[in-house]
Amino acid sequence: MAAEEGKADAQLFQLLSGLLQQVEALTNQEEVELRSKIEALGLEVIKLPSKSTQHLDELEIAKELDKLSAKLDDVDEMISSAMAADPQVISLLSGTADVWMPVITASADERRNFTASIAEDNPETKGTSFN
């Protein structure tokens, strides 16, 4: 179950890296800051939570959710500024939305089912790691 979720995450970050490479190729500009933020977010996603003997109370959970929301706001701001700066980014994101939108808006169960259906549709990806 966790392995399937990891594959979905890897696919998402592979897609984001590919989109960034396309944007860089179209603009002839290296997006160092955006690349580093995507990589950092990718590492954050795969990071295992520490083995704590204490359970988080509602206040601690709320604080953690606030931190994650702030990170998502940063990503949203980066995407918005990239879209405002270059109309080709809008075209690229719109043209590929059917690929990335279901992955980022899905629940964990939906993402697992999505990953399973991709593997069933494409026999070449069975047993393939995206790391």
Listed by start position, the domains of the chain span 2-47+57-125
CA distance 131 to 117: 19
CA distance 31 to 92: 16
Q: Which residues does 64 contact at the CB level (< 8 Å), separation at least 6?
A: 56
38 and 13 in contact (C-beta within 8 Å)? yes
Q: What is the pTM of this model?
A: 0.39
Strands (E), 21-121: none
* 90 closest CA partner among 43, 13, 27, 30: 27
Q: What is the pLDDT of residues 95-128, one digit of tens each?
A: 888 877 877 787 777 777 766 666 666 555 444 4
* 78 closest CA partner among 89, 67, 94: 89
Q: What is the pLDDT of residues 1-45, one digit of tens each?
A: 556 666 777 788 888 888 888 888 888 888 888 888 888 888 877
